Amino acid sequence: MRKFRILKALKIIAMVLIFVPLLGLLTMSLWNCLVPAIFGFKAITWIQALGLMLLGRLLFGGFKGGPGHGPGRHAWKARMQARWGNMSEEEKAKWQARCGKYFKGDEEKK
- Cα distances from 99 to residues 21, 52, 94, in angstroms, run 43, 38, 9
- Among residues 84, 77, 28, 18, the alpha carbon closest in space to that of 52 is found at 28
Q: How big is the CA angle at 11 (ends 10 and 14), to the nearest 5 degrees?
A: 85
Phi/psi for 49 (5° steps) reads: -65, -40
pLDDT tens digit sequence for 45-76: 999 999 999 898 888 876 665 555 556 667 87
69: left (phi over 0), alpha (psi -120 to 50) or beta: beta
Q: Which amino acid is it at 80?
A: M
Q: Quick one: pLDDT band at residue 83, thresholds 50, 70, 90?
A: confident
What's the confidence (pLDDT) of residue 110?
Answer: 45
> What average pLDDT does range 40-47 have in this prediction?
93
What's the confidence (pLDDT) of residue 15?
Answer: 94
Q: How far apart are CA 49 and CA 43, in angstroms?
A: 10
pLDDT tens digit sequence for 8-40: 999 999 999 999 999 999 999 999 999 999 999
Q: Does the pLDDT value for residue 90 go beyond 50?
A: yes
Q: How far apart are CA 86 and CA 97, in angstroms?
A: 18
What does pTM read for this prediction?
0.52
What's the confidence (pLDDT) of residue 94?
Answer: 86
What's the confidence (pLDDT) of residue 76?
Answer: 79
Residues 6+ apart with CB under 8 A from 61: none
